[in-house]
Structure 1
């Protein structure tokens, strides 16, 4: 009798499929269920925590073909940078949330029986990478009236949290081949005209726009517009 995949398994498969589409490979990759014992021992795993509902740990382990290709690149490129788009694609399948900085850990430390593991490979080829996800369900509690904090109290909890603001003057999309062909003197044409406002982003979310200024020989942005909450920034190409 055919078994119906559980919701958790479907979440893992969807995330793995999204990651497989963006792992560098000369051939299309497909994600197939595996176990943590299939991942070569002693490998280094790239791990990124996803904070959302649900929250999860996303893991990618690059195979020799991927690591060799990155090492042979004419442009200095870290494996974490090459695989970050794949982790971001997997994270988007989980819903709204924030993907934290990618870190490197021994595979034995992050993979176990509580992790869904998938092998990413082209038909008839050696595995290009392994993807794993550990989903942590959101804990929901129903507070009593006396436990419900006021909105201002909620904000006070966040006052000392540091956030990274990024100013962006434009974007462009390039293939891996074009990136590898970059050389000093190359000019990249962005998607905005000269004088267009710069975007101010917090954790990748558009919050304001402004004009670029120079303050004591340091670049700055003079805010000219606060963006409404329903307007968001695009995805980096």
Structure 2
């Protein structure tokens, strides 16, 4: 059998912070924003993202969807003429309307949601 050795527990009463030589820092030195150099964020402008124009959506039971066939109509949650959601990597960026440019679909931004994305781009 091995003998167990008792290790004394750490006693916080024995700790004296006066033994440490700590330098006091004036509060004005804690303002990190004034000492932080401006960063060039142009690198981020070249990162590809996926822009999606979401027409509308509908929550539907799987059984109801399985009944759908050619010619079936599923009513969606947006009204005709209502602005469509523009999403960037799945996050709402703003609202737009559909346009045709050089025989391709495009989008015309109506408004941009104030978010971290818009402030990071500017």
Q: Give the unaligned 5+ runs of structure 1.
A: 1-143, 231-237
2:90 paired residue number: 204
- Structure 1 match to 2:28: none
State the alpha-carbon separation in 2 of the partners of residues 149 and 166 from structure 1: 35
Is 1:171 aligned with 2:65? Answer: no
TM-score normalized by structure 1? 0.32
Question: CA–CA distance in 1 between the matches of 2:44 and 2:37?
Answer: 13
Equivalent positions of 1:12-91 (< 5 A) are none
What SS does the aligned partner of 1:158 have? helix
Larger RCO: Structure 1 or Structure 2 (Cα < 8 Å, ≥ 6 residues apart)?
Answer: 1
TM-score computed with the length of structure 2 as normaliser: 0.59
| CA–CA separation in structure 2 for the residues paired with 1:180 and 1:217 | 34
Per-residue CA deviations over 1:186-236 (Å, capped at 9, x if unaligned) read 111111110001111001111111111122222111111111228xxxxxx
Task: Give the secondary structure class of the aligned counterpart of 2:108.
Answer: strand
- Matched length: 83
Of the three residues 56, 63, 74, the one matched with 1:188 is 74
Structure index of larger Rg:
2
RMSD of equivalent CA atoms? 2.2
Change (3 A) 1:157 1:149: farther
Structure 2 residue ranges without an equivalent (≥5)? 1-31, 117-122
Query: Alpha carbons of 1:190 and 1:157: their partners in 2 closer, same or farther (altered >3 Å)?
Result: same
Whose strand fraction is larger, Structure 1's or Structure 2's? 1
